[in-house]
Structure 1
């Protein structure tokens, strides 16, 4: 096997793990909401799909818009995470047992998009360097799906330890990641 192919595969794997760590960390926060195993699987798959679609879109338009769009994607992702974090914190102080961010429908889509926006920015950069598209999107999707699943499962277990404050803690985690993206 050619050393340049091994080097590119190693680089893409490291990038996929780095992007997956974001999904893992944010999955910890989202896992603080009471989720069923079926919901965890759906969320993980959706995030995996978005981690394939977003870099593909980014790679497609990478040569023209890298600097401009990369900053916009980070800004939008940060704002979405901050909003989701505030919603979770607000929900934890409401008297209703149902979370403000529903682990289905729009809530899952917003969460999945916000987690995956950084992979769009990475895709923009990779488009300039001519990375192998199929390998890149498969690695990004599979690794982020697995890491999201682990994050959601760990969050689900720790939610039982934190009780009603678990959702507030999850919201704080998402809020902090949103602020990190903005600054």
Structure 2
């Protein structure tokens, strides 16, 4: 593996952590409810799966679009990352918009979908930049699963001191990567 490829993997790792921060912050609140460890394991795995599925769909769509728009791909990808990051930062200040659902059945499905929707757009921008799909998906899934577990367990202990700050950090990282693509 060359230094360039290692740099790509490290960048994808940071991006995976940034995407997982949203799941982490929401999981902090969910963890404050009385949730058993077995349920925490299931929720983390489902969210990890959705954080692989949604960017995959975005990457596929992004690759289709990139063959049609050529040189605009990097510009669009960078703008998408900046926009998603900014949305995460602004939503951290709007505490009333998040509603907790029970992480069971359809509630778990909608919870995982809502937490992973931003990863679709990130996948779209990654598809525009021709990233290594399998590595990106595995990193996104693993990071979001581990961060969900950590958030729910920490939420049981801490009672929400880090929620908004973790989402601000995640949004800042996405903005930074978007700006790197735009001006890099």
TM-score by length of 1: 0.69
Deviations 1:114-145 (A, max 9, x none): 11111111000000110001100000000110
Query: What does residue 25 of structure 1 align with?
Result: 25
RMSD across aligned positions (CA): 3.1
Paired residues, number: 146
- Report the Cα distance in structure 2 between the residues aligned to 1:155 and 1:148, rounded to whole angstroms: 10
Query: What does residue 54 of structure 2 align with?
Result: 54
Query: What does residue 12 of structure 1 align with?
Result: 12
Deviations 1:61-101 (A, max 9, x none): 0143996xx69xx79xx7xx96652xx4xxxxxxxxxxxx3
Q: 1:46 to 1:61 in 2, by over 3 A?
A: same
TM-score by length of 2: 0.68
Moved over 4 A (4+): 81-84
- Report the Cα distance in structure 1 between the residues aligned to 2:106 and 2:34, rounded to whole angstroms: 17
Does residue 1:128 correspond to 2:131, yes or no? no
Does residue 1:42 correspond to 2:50, yes or no? no
Query: What does residue 151 of structure 1 align with?
Result: 151
Unmatched 5+ residue regions in structure 2?
Answer: 67-72, 172-184
Q: 1:125 to 1:22 in 2, by over 3 A?
A: same
Conserved in 2, the CA contact under 8 Å of 1:84 and 1:111? no
Unmatched 5+ residue regions in structure 1?
Answer: 89-100, 160-165
- Report the Cα distance in structure 2 between the residues aligned to 1:103 and 1:139, rounded to whole angstroms: 23
